[in-house]
Amino acid sequence: MLYVGKRSKFEGLVRAYSAELYRYAYWLARERFTAEDLVQETFARAWNAWESLRDDRAAKSWLYTILRNEHARLYEKKRVDVDDALEVDTLPDPEGASVFESLELRDALNALPPAYREPLLLQTLGGFTCVEIAQMMNTTEGAVMTRLTRARLTLRKLPGWDARRKAKTR
């Protein structure tokens, strides 16, 4: 009977967070199949460690932490050659941005150093607070806030970035 309750809670967790986790995994891995594998491995590890989750309200950040660790494990095992000239699949934009705008946004985010890009994606895609991001990244809240500020300043320095943002808000 205990197994049935655990299973239904876990299935609810999968339904609630699989799309979000996939979006984040895709931004980390920049490849559809790797992102799918990361999400699948994240849920497999979460299932095996279900008893270690003390508070159901912390499930989202717990899953994101597992996913980040799984992504890091990819690079512990082998050195991956990255070809920046290759195009990656584009994610559909729920707000209806054009393909051109999506590509511009992807290129702008890819231009950010990983130390700035990761907390920005956790905040914008994951909706996490600075405190939660700091816990996931094993750093201080101040460091996260600094990285977020620097990420935004770097994006603003890109040619035409402010003009595009102002045009969108009108």
Q: What pLDDT score was predicted for residue 89?
A: 47
Q: What pLDDT score was predicted for residue 91?
A: 42
**Mean pLDDT over all residues of the chain?**
77
Q: What pLDDT score was predicted for residue 102?
A: 66
Element (H, E) at 119: helix 114-124
For 40-90, how does the pLDDT look when each residue is reduced to its tens digit (9 = 90+)?
A: 999 999 888 888 877 778 888 889 889 988 888 887 655 545 555 544 444
* pLDDT for residue 151 is more than 60: yes
Residue 145 contacts by C-beta under 8 Å, 6 or more apart in sequence? 130
Q: Please indicate, yes or no, if residue 131 is contained in any of the structural domains.
A: yes
Q: Please indicate, yes or no, if residue 88 is contained in any of the structural domains.
A: no
Q: Please indicate, yes or no, if residue 1 is contained in any of the structural domains.
A: no
* pLDDT for residue 93 is more than 60: no
Element (H, E) at 41: helix 32-48
For the ranges 9-18, 71-80, 98-107, the maximum mean pLDDT occurs at 9-18
Average pLDDT over residues 132-138: 87
What letters, b where the CB count within 10 A reaches 16 and e where it falls short, cover 101-130? Answer: eeebbbeebeebeeebbbbbbbbeebebeb
* pLDDT for residue 94 is more than 60: no
Q: What pLDDT score was predicted for residue 22?
A: 92
Structure token pair of residue 73: 């494990």
**Residue 124 belongs to domain with CATH number:** 1.10.10.10
Give the chain's domain count. Answer: 1
Q: What pLDDT score was predicted for residue 77?
A: 57
Q: Please indicate, yes or no, if residue 84 is contained in any of the structural domains.
A: no
* pLDDT for residue 143 is more than 80: yes
Q: Please indicate, yes or no, if residue 66 is contained in any of the structural domains.
A: yes
Query: Burial level of 74, CB count in 10 A (0-12/13-18/19+)?
Result: middle
Q: Please indicate, yes or no, if residue 12 is contained in any of the structural domains.
A: no
Q: Please indicate, yes or no, if residue 155 is contained in any of the structural domains.
A: yes
Nearest to 140 by CA among 130, 152, 153: 130
Q: Please indicate, yes or no, if residue 85 is contained in any of the structural domains.
A: no
Query: Do 116 and 154 contact (CB within 8 A), yes or no?
Result: yes
Q: Establish how many alpha carbons lie within 13 A of residue 128's alpha carbon, considering only the half-sphere containing its beta carbon.
A: 32
Measured distance CA(34)–CA(131) in Å, rounded: 28
Give residue 101's domain range.
Answer: 19-76+95-169
CA angle (134 as vertex; 45, 115 as ends), nearest 5: 90
